[in-house]
Amino acid sequence: MPHEIRPGIRRLLRLATRRGMEQDADEEIRIHLQLRARQLMDEGMSASDANDEARRRFGDVDGERRLSRAVAGRQERRARWTDGMDRLRGDLRYALRTLRLDAGFTVFALVILALGIGASATVFSLVNGVLLRPMPFANPSRLVWIGNVADNGVDDWRVQVGHFVDLGTRSKSLSGIAGYFGYYSVGDAALTMHGVTQRLTRVPVTCGFFPLLGVTPELGRSFTAEECGRDSGSTTAILTDRLWREQFGADPSVIGRVVTVSDKSVQIIGVLPASFDFSSVFTPGTAADLFVPYPLSERNNRDGNTLAVVGRLRPGVSIAQANVELKALGRQLTAEFPQRNPIRPRIESLDAHVNGRFRPALMMLAFAVAAVMLIVAVNLASLQYARMSARGRELALRVALGAARGRIVRQVLTESLLLACGGAAIGVTLAILATRYLSHLRAFDIPLLSRVHVDASVVIATTLVAVLAGVVVGLLPALQSPADPNDALKDGTRGATRGGQHARVRSALVVTEIAAALVLLVASSLLLRSFVRVLDADLGFTPEHLFRLRVDPPVAPRDLAAATAYYDEVLRRIRSTPGVTAASLSDMLPFTGDRSWGVPGENQAYQRGHLPEGFIRFVDADYFRTMGIPLEKGRDFAEGDDPTAPRVVIINESMARKLWPGGDPIGQRVVQGPRHLTVIGVVGDVRHATLESPFTGEVYFPMRQSYGYTRVDLVVRTSLPISGFAAAARTALAPVAPDAVRNSWSTMQTLIDQVASPRRFLVLLLSGFAAFAVAIAALGIYALISFGVTQRRQELGIRIALGATTNDVGAAIMRETMRLTLVGIVLGTLAAVLVVPAMNSMLFGVTWRDPVSFGCGVAALVVVAGAAGLVPARRAMRVDPSTALRAG
């Protein structure tokens, strides 16, 4: 291999001249001058004349000296670089050869590194995209969410228009406030173009909404004060970038065009930038299409708490200061305007409001991933360690033959780094695929998820982690490389002292893996059990065999009579469809909205601000039977509950307890503005916001008596599968509801899944990590015990020859396995007790002390570790004493 020798020779040659290249440069000039002088003296010059003449002929001696020193320095650096590259090439070639020879190890190491790094990069991308990256607004850290504390002191109410105006003008800690109408509903507007009508989501916003967020329209302009003042419905609109591209073909001339939205002419005045994603911040999982002005008018003020409010802090003002000021202002306004709803402002940073719910979950995932990476690194270190001790003789021989210790360390490090970089390359690829998949999931209701992707910072961080892992993994065994070659050479494969030390270090590593795996197992069983509890929670209705379809026409019926006629026909047709056992209508199914208002009992005096609140639903007859909500008392709505009949209402049990504690609500009356409505029935409680939230009051109004609804869902109970049923239903409904049949049917279960999705997301990821961790820990145990059995073949052979039964041998191996496992479990339990309490806020129905979760974690580890130890134990039992002894 001449090309391997050559750099070596070059190095040797250079070593001889190393003694200062700069001195050499001076020396060369000195010799030249000396030779020249001698030549001149030979020609007959005197010694001093000859020296002067030599210098004269040379020219600028000092300049040349400087120049040649510089050149020498450059050459030295170049030579060093070439040598370094040669050495690196050599190390890489050596590492590649070693890795190729040990293909099993290499593949295993690459796989676990790639999975570990892939998981880390994915979770880091999530944390980065959802928590760390600023929101797509100007100076987002100064933006605050201004909530209005509900009577129960926990929930957040919207803010009434009058209060909104007064807060804006009186507050000194805010430089501005803005808001959007909090009760817009998805798809409640219809855009008619070229004779085709399309459902859109229209969000009414206050005049200063876009300027406050620092969002400037890409085309056109924002709303003017005059436009925001018109109380007779909106006449101007601003489009989102998506709507502009999809419906108007990204046509810049769209500005100024008049289109028909919900049968009204609306002029398009602006297009928002693509970076502005309203829904992913404020209402994740839905879409917003166009924005219209929301006038701060007396009429809107009468609608009560309608505005979701954001504000911008004045420079230098903290959130705490703003809170103090606004709380005082809230008390002042409540006292000053008794005719308005009370207001109790609560300020938090917009970021905390949007992401706060997910922060603990994502932080937990980050920790989980750190634990997984720890296990991966420890496992690789342990394996490298085993390989090093197997190669102990080879290394000792090389040391004996003169290989520098540093060089061996460097080669092991090169090997580890090579593995780490290979793992990182595969891992980052996996992460890119995983994040692409995650960010396109509509099923998960997580803000800003769509913005998540693997970016440069993630790749850099991941590579750093990989390099760090490589160094840790490489350094530990490398430093253990034999100090005294004599020992190692004499030691052989049977050595007691060195082998013993190796085993101790590797045992410690395996114990670490088991401990970390246990923490992950406990955390994931706690979450899993919470998840099961959440799904088990009594919904208050029966979601099985329940389908829903949005049926309100794109252009709302002009009055109650028209609406009733339309919906009656829809119901008549769907009820006569084969397989349908029950069908009804609701304007707000469970989990689809949080509209609530005060429903006081007749002739009752309530303290101001303590009006009984209920979630409001408009439903048709037979709704409760269709949904499977039990009718506890009284009667259901009937088709006869129309505008000519006495006004009626149905309440749930919680509301009944709130309104008439201990009394019979049937026949009692509640007050809604000028009207008094008689309670005709009491139904069971239903979950309304999330699966975890407690039951609260609900008030059902009959759809036939008041026209206070826009969106309407048809719910159908049928024994048919969805595919067959949907086709039949489409045929039945097509003549009366041609637009509605274009919507797709979904099951009630889908809605529940969507509500449970963030939790399921977390459970899935964490369980995946835990399973991965346990598998790797099991492999670690297996590798260690198996290695021990191989090393102790001879000892085992002797034992068997001396009369130990194979069972004794197997039991000894299993005892060893279990000893390691138990130490790991004890340490892991201690670690879990320290770590797990931090996730209390994510648990439901269990506490972090849950003995079942701890027990399951321990049991799973014992079983898996036992299985991992069983394989080498069985091998040990089959050791044939005669061959084992001879082999030694």
Which residues sit at the interface with other proteins, rule CB under 8 A?
A: 13, 16-17, 24, 27-29, 31-32, 35-36, 39, 57-61, 63-64, 67-68, 71, 74-75
The smaller minimum CB distance to other proteins, of residues 67 and 479, is found at 67
What amino acid occupies position 123? V
Q: How far is the CB of 493 from other proteins (least distance, A)?
A: 48
The smaller minimum CB distance to other proteins, of residues 37 and 350, is found at 37
Q: Helical H runs in 294-391?
A: 298-302, 319-336, 350-355, 359-390
Beta-carbon neighbour count of residue 504 at 10 Å? 10
Q: How far is the CB of 380 from other proteins (least distance, A)?
A: 44
- 287, 820, 763: which is closest to 524 by C-alpha? 763
Q: Which helix (H) or strand (E) holds 345?
A: strand 345-349
Q: How far is the CB of 53 from other proteins (least distance, A)?
A: 11
Cα(366)–Cα(370) distance, integer angstroms? 6
Copy the structure tokens of residue 44. 């007959």
Which DSSP symbol is given to 601? B
Which DSSP symbol is given to 134? P
Cα(140)–Cα(283) distance, integer angstroms? 17
What amino acid occupies position 211? P
Q: How far is the CB of 454 from other proteins (least distance, A)?
A: 44
The smaller minimum CB distance to other proteins, of residues 2 and 338, is found at 2
Inter-residue contact 444 to 757 (CB < 8 Å): yes
CA distances from 72 to 14, 33, 56, 599 (A): 12, 20, 24, 93
Q: How far is the CB of 38 from other proteins (least distance, A)?
A: 9
The smaller minimum CB distance to other proteins, of residues 29 and 421, is found at 29
Q: How far is the CB of 76 from other proteins (least distance, A)?
A: 12
Inter-residue contact 704 to 620 (CB < 8 Å): yes
Q: What angle do CA 396, 399, 403 make, to 5 degrees?
A: 145
Cα(512)–Cα(525) distance, integer angstroms? 20
3-state SS, residue 45: coil
The smaller minimum CB distance to other proteins, of residues 10 and 550, is found at 10
The smaller minimum CB distance to other proteins, of residues 19 and 194, is found at 19
Q: How far is the CB of 39 from other proteins (least distance, A)?
A: 7
The smaller minimum CB distance to other proteins, of residues 44 and 59, is found at 59
3-state SS, residue 679: strand
Question: How are beta strands 596-598 and 236-239 bridged, if at all?
Answer: unpaired
Cα(146)–Cα(307) distance, integer angstroms? 10
Q: Which residues contact 447 (CB under 8 A, 6 or more apart)?
A: 130, 280, 281, 284, 354, 355, 358
The smaller minimum CB distance to other proteins, of residues 3 and 194, is found at 3
In the chain, the N- to C-terminal Cα span, in Å, equals 36
Q: How far is the CB of 391 from other proteins (least distance, A)?
A: 40
The smaller minimum CB distance to other proteins, of residues 7 and 866, is found at 7
Q: How far is the CB of 40 from other proteins (least distance, A)?
A: 12
Q: How far is the CB of 29 from other proteins (least distance, A)?
A: 8
What amino acid occupies position 27? E
The smaller minimum CB distance to other proteins, of residues 14 and 391, is found at 14
Q: To 10 degrees, the CA torsion angle through 409, 415, 417, 419?
A: -150
Question: How are beta strands 143-149 and 305-313 bridged, if at all?
Answer: antiparallel
Which residues of 623-745 form beta strands (DSSP E)?
631-634, 648-652, 669-672, 675-683, 698-702, 713-718
Diameter of the chain by CA atoms? Answer: 142
Q: How far is the CB of 6 from other proteins (least distance, A)?
A: 14
- 63, 57, 60: which is closest to 36 by C-alpha? 57
How many H helices and E strands in the chain?
A: 28, 25
Q: How far is the CB of 82 from other proteins (least distance, A)?
A: 12
The smaller minimum CB distance to other proteins, of residues 14 and 242, is found at 14
- 789, 75, 105: which is closest to 383 by C-alpha? 105
Q: Which residues contact 84 (CB under 8 A, 6 or more apart)?
A: none
Inter-residue contact 344 to 201 (CB < 8 Å): no
Q: How far is the CB of 52 from other proteins (least distance, A)?
A: 14
Can you give the C-alpha Rg of the chain in angstroms?
Answer: 39
The smaller minimum CB distance to other proteins, of residues 60 and 246, is found at 60
The smaller minimum CB distance to other proteins, of residues 27 and 538, is found at 27
The smaller minimum CB distance to other proteins, of residues 59 and 153, is found at 59
Q: How far is the CB of 66 from other proteins (least distance, A)?
A: 11
Q: Which residues contact 645 (CB under 8 A, 6 or more apart)?
A: 705
The smaller minimum CB distance to other proteins, of residues 42 and 336, is found at 42
Q: How far is the CB of 67 from other proteins (least distance, A)?
A: 7
3-state SS, residue 693: coil
The owner of tokens 């050559």 is 6
Inter-residue contact 6 to 90 (CB < 8 Å): no
SS3 content of the chain, % helix, strand, coil (to 5): 55, 15, 30
The smaller minimum CB distance to other proteins, of residues 40 and 261, is found at 40
Q: How far is the CB of 77 from other proteins (least distance, A)?
A: 12
The smaller minimum CB distance to other proteins, of residues 6 and 819, is found at 6
Which DSSP symbol is given to 132? I
Q: How far is the CB of 31 from other proteins (least distance, A)?
A: 6
